Structure 1
């Protein structure tokens, strides 16, 4: 027996001795574990033929007479891709390696189940595989729950898209006239920015979204020449609320840049980057998101604040629990969001 296996057995026995020496080698204990475990525990020969099934396994597999199944090729319980995966798992385990897969297989009574399966070698005294241990966990309920969740998410997505379309149609019919065409166009663009951000979120089931994807999606109308943008930063996840607010903020900044800033002239560029590796004056790590324009016309401080400015200053900062500074430097607009690093989740 390899040293690692021997050490594991010795550790287990020492822990059992600490509980009660009588538990070591206790057949009743083994029988109780195999009967009480809800997983289907099986022993196969090296060719994958079924040799043993735990009492708990018979229960979950709805097996009344194991003798009718003993000796059957275990992969035959699986169909399609599951059959292929089961055969590959046997080959791997027989070669001394662990294998794992998920798939559909019916119980002995024909009821469909979805299983998470692990197959591993049982080593003999010579250290080579003598049998195979297969443990199957019924995860049908989990997959059914996920399917229901996906169905509800898809329905929510459909309803929100319909609502956005209706709002857009109402706006088009309400705000008529050439004198407000620019404001109507601006409103429609903002609605589209919300719709695009929502598409990103629905792909992640409304839980979170990668910041890179959110930013790039918000910039879609302006990415005909991608060389004008530098977009870089850590792999971070934004909450649904943060995703919507930063998508709208980036949309507003890009729209303003296209009208008056770096994107309004040839050669203008925008640098967008973020990180969580800086600290504030108290030594706490911060999330810093920066939009920086350069190469555009000389910028002047606006005389009034519109919807976009108020959105960036108030909503963006509030949704991240931080602050936003917009600096209208002559060389280009610089917008910086600072928030606690804990407000975003790292994927690494």
Structure 2
């Protein structure tokens, strides 16, 4: 019977997972307290979004759509899992405690858990907790789509050059000539006019993606113009590699450092843009759990007696933006070989 011998690992060779954790970039990131603080806050927001049904328990139509009879049933596994991963649309509607327009502090709210008080009758705490889901969902979807479009178009522009590059860059110049918010509002207004009263999620994503991909395309094009001149790209071309293979295997993967860092930083700005659209009346419907809605409600009650109406939504928005900015700055420094 033939014996099976194992080939010993090469001395000094580290497992791939270990080499990643001990890489210079990650070591520098771990030594950056501001970046770690940002990452910690991001994780807290992620946990809040995941466990939103347990933190701000469903009420009203959300209970009905989940098949529940009381709020305490949310702690049962079958209801908790459905609420966390397949929450009905009604769960994103803010809990309405009353129909009073005047804000009410937490001490005057009875028979419901509203530690931040109410505004326009809506529970501010419920809107902020479930609004975290809306902020993360919109941020990652919009940034993911714009990043993919920017990398694709920028890679084609930078790799082929010539008239292709000139055509794409002139189109990007046209987009840059228009203020992003004005262009987004114009596109969103046209889309909403064709479907008044419909779900604004799709139109908001489409409008912001149309105005957001150009920045990534510009950056990735500049990096690819440098990368395509390197020796290993010439070697791949000499060996007969096709253009698509060179772009996907050699050029783009080695040109993503800058654009990836910009994408992390952009995650902080999406909730601000969505909040601005809600403030202008082009965002989600009234009562939807979205931070911009609460800022819009607070506009009529900017008085010292009602400080909580604006303070708590502002704290959430500032912390969300600050967290991604801190982590993005740390990631940029860690991935920059000049700073190692």
TM-score range (shorter-chain normalised) is under 0.3
Report which of the two structures shows the higher radius of gyration computed on alpha carbons: 1
Point out which structure has higher relative CO (alpha carbons under 8 A, 6+ apart).
2
The TM-score normalised by the length of structure 1 is: 0.24
Structure holding more strand per residue: 1
The TM-score normalised by the length of structure 2 is: 0.24
Structure holding more helix per residue: 2
